[in-house]
A and B are shown apart, each in its own frame.
Chain A
Amino acid sequence: MKNGYPIQAEGLVKTYGKVRALDGLDLQVEQGTLLALLGPNGAGKTTAVRIFTTLLKPDSGRATVAGYDVTREPDRIKSHIGLAGQSVAIDEYLTGLENLEMIGQLYHLSARDAKRRAFELVAQFDLIDAAGRVAKTYSGGMRRRLDLAASLVAIPPVLFLDEPTTGLDPRSRRQTWEVISALVVQGTTILLTTQYLEEADELANRIAVVDAGRVIAEGTSDELKNRVGGNRIEVAVAKDADLSRAAEVVRRHLSTDVSIDPHQRRVSGPSRDGTSQLAGLVRDFDAAGIAITDLQLHRPSLDDVFLTLTGHQAEQEKAAEPGRGRARRAS
């Protein structure tokens, strides 16, 4: 591999008719890190992956993978990458082992190496018991694992994972995350697209938020959260009548503007000092004789980041993300 970023894009544009799927996408992924491309459906994530994996040609702009240009040297790129697309791309009528062997041989490994590698992968992905069964009989989670294994046959230094956990139950999702984390530890450079904030938060070294075909923000999870503001203090009072007095207490204590949610009887505001302010606040409420039912300090979530940056809520999959997506913004 040549020097520079393993994955790099400058001003990528791709249009389908009148739709601008990519509208000047810029991106860099550092060696041995995972970058999550986070965005809603139709943001251009899959189009970007297809350009990087040489399946599509960009209308304009430049992209390189492993140092090779996607339009000029697509064939060189192919032996350096692995791809797990959105749909599970396995042959239903072949066994797990046969699927992996076939992919190995199509990477032009020798028949013996392809077989050896297939055995390694079924062991690594907990598919040994099912290795001799046709993939048609596999559960959703097993299919995903086999698909991910197929993308790793050639031990590619650069890996593209397009929404690798879509449609998985929480347990299988957790397992897939472990596999991906292990790959990053071993030095693989990964571009992962996702609509799930939790996934990006969990896996990514850096996150690029895409909307309408361009990157609108990029940074570590913490950096992005800090862009929205630091910690917030939130307090709920017992009686409606206390709400405006409570707001006054918080405003004085934090010396900033606060937002008030009359329905939830909640007052919240940004906190600079974090926990130390909590204690003082409790004393102030005590002194003022205001009964409080809840007091919390929380970091802005990626939900907050996404909402602030794009102006619309991120996609949520309620069943798959229990406990997430609670409405807690008082604006």
Chain B
Amino acid sequence: MAVARTSVTPGTRYRPVTGRPAIVWALLDAMLLARRSVLRTWREPQLIVFVAIQPVMFVVLFRYVFGGAIQVPGGQYVNYLMPGIFVQTVAFGGVITAIGLAEDMQRGLIDRFRSLPMSSSAVVTGRTVADLVRNLFTVVIMLAVGFLVGFRPGGTIFEFVLAILVLMGISFAFSWISAFIGLLVHTVEAAQSGGFIWLFPLTFASSAFVPVATMPSWLRGFAEHNPITVLADSLRGLFHVNPALTTADTRWALIQSVGWIVAILAVFVPLSVMQYRRSTAR
């Protein structure tokens, strides 16, 4: 290989841009890294295909296999089911953050990023923002799938937009939990199982698929306050698909949902950034 002998003295050319506040750099760096993750999904769409196929399978399974046996108060099961599926979809979609970060760690990319004069929240923020973009895309697909199997939301445009907003809120929050898991474990395999395992009890012991009232009392306490439940109930209220929910019920579910989103972010954003700062490949 011919090595070009440039006449460069180290450090003389290419001055970095200066004079921007740290918060601006944090955002710019995060956007740069989010773009990288989105590009990756675009170029290697397998991951998103699997993430999208899974909820479709759940829709088919619950709509046509179990659905006939599940009684929901005052309404069609498909209308009850789809909001639950939406929440489950974004929760599971967040696992890609865990996998991506574990992969970066395994490859030594986290070491490289940590040796750069960049913002230390950017790598994790980039991943979670990319998840958000991906999840929005999956939700659009799921809305279409829902429409095909008979899901018919009511309500105003404002309510619809609000529903999508809280859904994206919980998506973002779950991605940060996932980020923490991904940085804690050191392999992609561990991130994969560790990222999913806690989501199963969380989504099934919730109102996502069946009414909480049918569960034994010891489980009900957990199921009623589970973030998946309050999110699913918020969506049902906003989509006007569950006549059993009063306006007050919906408002209370929304307040709880926002509470969960804020609480999860308040705990897991600093926790993940702290974990990132001390992460290094093995």
Contacts and interface: CB of A to CB of B under 8 A. Distances in A.
B108 A117 contact: no
Interface stretch (B39-47, B71-79, B232-240, B244-252): B39-47
A89 B108 contact: yes
B131 interface: no
B1 A175 contact: yes
B25 A89 contact: no
Interface in A97-111: 98, 102-110
A55 interface: yes
B107 A87 contact: yes
Contacts of A55: 111, 114-115, 280
Contacts of A186: 5-6, 8-10
Contact of A126 (B1, B12, B25): B1
A56 B10 contact: no
Contacts of B23: none
A54 B2 contact: no
Contact of B14 (A56, A81, A109, A187): A109
Contacts of B107: 87-90, 92
Contacts of A178: 1, 3
Given A123-B4, A126-B2, A56 B280 contact: yes
Chain B interface helix/strand/loop/mixed: loop
The number of chain A residues touching the other chain, given as a range, is 35 or more
B281 A157 contact: no
A53 interface: yes
Contact of B10 (A88, A110, A187): A187
B40 A91 contact: yes
B108 A88 contact: yes
Contact of A124 (B3, B118, B280): B3
Contacts of A175: 1
B10 A157 contact: yes
Interface in B13-38: 13-14, 16-18, 25, 29, 32-33, 36
A48 B113 CA distance: 18
Contacts of B43: 93, 134
Interface of A: 50, 53-56, 75, 78-83, 85-94, 98, 102-110, 113, 117, 120, 123-126, 134, 145, 150-151, 154-157, 175, 178-179, 182, 185-188
Interface of B: 1-6, 8-14, 16-18, 25, 29, 32-33, 36, 39-40, 43-44, 106-109, 111-118, 122, 280-281
Given A50-B111, A124-B3, 11 more contacts: A50-B280, A56-B280, A83-B111, A87-B107, A90-B107, A91-B36, A94-B39, A154-B14, A156-B10, A182-B3, A186-B8
25 contacts: A50-B280, A55-B111, A55-B115, A78-B117, A83-B111, A83-B115, A87-B108, A88-B108, A89-B107, A89-B109, A93-B40, A102-B32, A106-B122, A108-B16, A108-B117, A117-B14, A124-B4, A154-B16, A155-B14, A157-B10, A178-B3, A179-B1, A186-B10, A187-B9, A188-B10
